Amino acid sequence: MATAEPSPKIAHLDRYPDVRAALLDERFVIYKPLAGSMEAHSEPDGSQRAPRSHRPAPLLHILTEHLSGTSVAEIAARAREIASGLIERGLSRGEMDLVADLACPLPLMIMQDLLGFPQIEIEKLHSLFAAITAGQEMEASDHSLHLARLAQFSIMRWIAKHMDASQSPLMTAVRRAAKESSMEQAASYWCTMLLYAGSTTTRDFIANCLARLLEHPEEATLLHNTPALLESALEELLRIEGPVRAIGRVVGEDLSIGDLQLRRGTILYLHLDKANRDPARFPDPERVDFSRRPNPHLAFGLGVTRCLGLHLAKLEARTVLTALLPHLPRMKLAAASQWGSSTILRERTCVPVRFF
Ligand code: HEM
């Protein structure tokens, strides 16, 4: 149900048709509390807006091209190599935490390869990512927002420092476009977002997929016995275990949508996870059906701001599932998965398993 809080400042949409309509409607401006002067502009009420027309087209064009299905397919072998190395390590120990030992390092190593940056300590980067997430939470405190900006700033500085030395095709193209259109600062902001979005969401998706299968052995057995279901299973897992719970928009003008009358400046959260479980769109929504078709889930958003990294995210999740499927029958949860407290991410923070 669509609900509004007593104050008109924050509202929520969670029915599929309303969320879908809002994603495609340019009167809802992307809410980027951390964008600062990079992409957003400040309104008289102090809020920050990032209108779609202000998006740096030359940079986005390059990112889209380098993250297309065809480009991403070229790193499939590297993803397999990293995934098997990490899994082998767990197998030889007889146990692993699927988050810390697999879901965390794989996407980060892929992103560092793509951007051509030196490996840095994963823990350090993940604590900066955690600060960024905290600053984007619904109703984040000013303190969290401040820490998030500091975290983002230190990643941007690190990126700006290494940008010139990077030999990766993606970064070479970004560097050239940034120089040609004087967008150096925007380039380091977008690379920060790429590193953050590319590492955290995929980490959570991989962890959620694996935990889901271990928590529902009948689904794991079905996938193990019928690997041809893998592609449609990935879509169903995105629908039911997609890592992005909600995304924010700023209402650009007074308007109505669903049951809501919204004033300009209201922050509107689009609950992708609830829309993906709307019984009016997905019959028997809580049932996981690896053959569900059609499956028009909104896990990657929609329209102009649809996720740029969706091919990469699917490639990484597919790679991990393919590598782990043969081991699933002898994998067991060593304890219940632990959950993070984020309001915007569906994140399991620890998924300990034993191989027997
Ligand atoms: C399962 C993993 C992922 C999920 C569920 C996911 C989800 C999303 C969603 C819902 C949006 C739309 C945000 C909005 O409209 O406000 C988005 C945008 C974005 N995603 Fe992802 N994402 C994932 C992985 C990735 C990866 C691997 C990358 C980078 C390689 C990435 C980079 C981005 C970027 C740069 C945007 C901003 C797009 C724009 O504003 O044009 N994402 N993602």
Residue numbers of the domain that contains 238? 3-355
List, in sequence order, every residue forming a beta bridge with 269; answer none if it has no partner. Answer: 12, 248
Output the pLDDT for position 117: 87
Residue 1 has pLDDT above 70, yes or no: no
Inter-residue contact 190 to 184 (CB < 8 Å): no
**CATH number of the domain to which 86 belongs:** 1.10.630.10
Output the pLDDT for position 139: 86
C-alpha of residue 196 to centroid of ligand 1, in Å: 10
Read off the pLDDT band of 6 (50, 70, 90): very low
C-alpha of residue 288 to centroid of ligand 1, in Å: 24
Q: Which atom of ligand 1 is nearest to the CA of 299?
A: 5
Residue nearest to atom 7 of ligand 1 (CA): 300
C-alpha of residue 310 to centroid of ligand 1, in Å: 7
pLDDT in tens, 148-160: 999 999 999 888 8
What span, in angstroms and rounded, lies between the C-alpha atoms of 348 and 2?
27
pLDDT in tens, 254-264: 999 999 999 99
% pLDDT > 70, the chain: 92
Q: Which residues contact 143 (CB under 8 A, 6 or more apart)?
A: none
The pair phi, psi for residue 327, each rounded to 5°, is: -90, -10
pLDDT in tens, 180-205: 888 888 898 889 999 999 999 999 99
Pocket test for ligand 1, best of 109, 307, 320 (most atoms within 8 A of CB): 307
List, in sequence order, every residue forming a beta bridge with 291; answer none if it has no partner. Answer: none
Residue 219 has pLDDT above 90, yes or no: yes
Which amino acids bring their CB within 6 angstroms of ligand 1? 30, 67, 193-194, 197-198, 201-202, 205, 242-244, 247, 299-301, 305, 307-309, 312-313
Distance of alpha carbon 177 from the chain centroid? 25
% pLDDT > 90, the chain: 79
Q: Which atom of ligand 1 is nearest to the CA of 317?
A: 1
C-alpha of residue 52 to centroid of ligand 1, in Å: 15
Read off the pLDDT band of 56 (50, 70, 90): confident
Output the pLDDT for position 43: 52
What distances in angstroms separate CA 77 from CA 70, 201, 207, 316, one per listed residue?
13, 21, 21, 11
The answer to whether the peptide bond before residue 352 is cis (omega within 30 degrees of 0) is no
Q: 3-class DSSP state for residue 256?
A: strand
DSSP state of 293: S
Residue nearest to atom 1 of ligand 1 (CA): 202
pLDDT (average), residues 160-183: 90
What span, in angstroms and rounded, lies between the C-alpha atoms of 128 and 121?
11
C-alpha of residue 217 to centroid of ligand 1, in Å: 30
C-alpha of residue 297 to centroid of ligand 1, in Å: 14
Residue 209 has pLDDT above 70, yes or no: yes
Domains: count for the chain: 1
pLDDT in tens, 273-319: 999 999 999 999 999 999 999 999 999 999 999 999 999 999 999 99
Read off the pLDDT band of 52 (50, 70, 90): low
